[in-house]
A and B are shown apart, each in its own frame.
Chain A
Amino acid sequence: EVQLLESGGGLVQPGGSLRLSCVASGFTFSNYAMSWVRQAPGKGLEWVSALTGSGGTAYYADSVKGRFTISRDTSKTTLSLQMNSLRAEDTAVYYCAKGAHYFPYYFDYWGPGTLVTVSS
Chain B
Amino acid sequence: QSALTQPASVSGSPGQSITISCTGTSSDVGGYNYVSWYQQYPGKAPKLMIFEVTNRPSGVPDRFSGSKSGNTASLTISGLQVEDEADYYCSSYGTTSPWVFGGGTKVAVL
Which residues of A line the B interface, CB within 8 A?
Answer: 35, 37, 44-47, 50, 59, 61-62, 95, 100, 104-113
Contacts and interface: CB of A to CB of B under 8 A. Distances in A.
Interface string B32-49: 001010101000111110
Contact of A44 (B34, B97, B98, B103): B103
A47 B104 CA distance: 14
Contact of A35 (B34, B45, B99, B102): B99
Nearest to A99: B99
A108 B46 contact: no
A45 B38 contact: yes
From DSSP, what is the main secondary structure of chain A's interface residues? strand
A47 B99 contact: yes
From DSSP, what is the main secondary structure of chain B's interface residues? strand
A100 B58 CA distance: 13
Interface in B90-105: 91, 93, 97-104
A61 B98 CA distance: 8
B93 A108 contact: no
Contacts of A109: 48
A105 B34 contact: yes
Given A35-B99, A44-B104, A45-B38, A108 B89 contact: no
B84 interface: no
Interface of B: 2, 34, 36, 38, 40, 44-48, 51-52, 57, 89, 91, 93, 97-104
A47 to B, nearest CB: 4
B46 A106 contact: no
Top 6 closest pairs, chain A to chain B, by CB: A106-B36, A47-B99, A110-B45, A44-B104, A105-B34, A45-B101
Contacts of A113: 45
Contacts of B51: 100, 105-106, 108
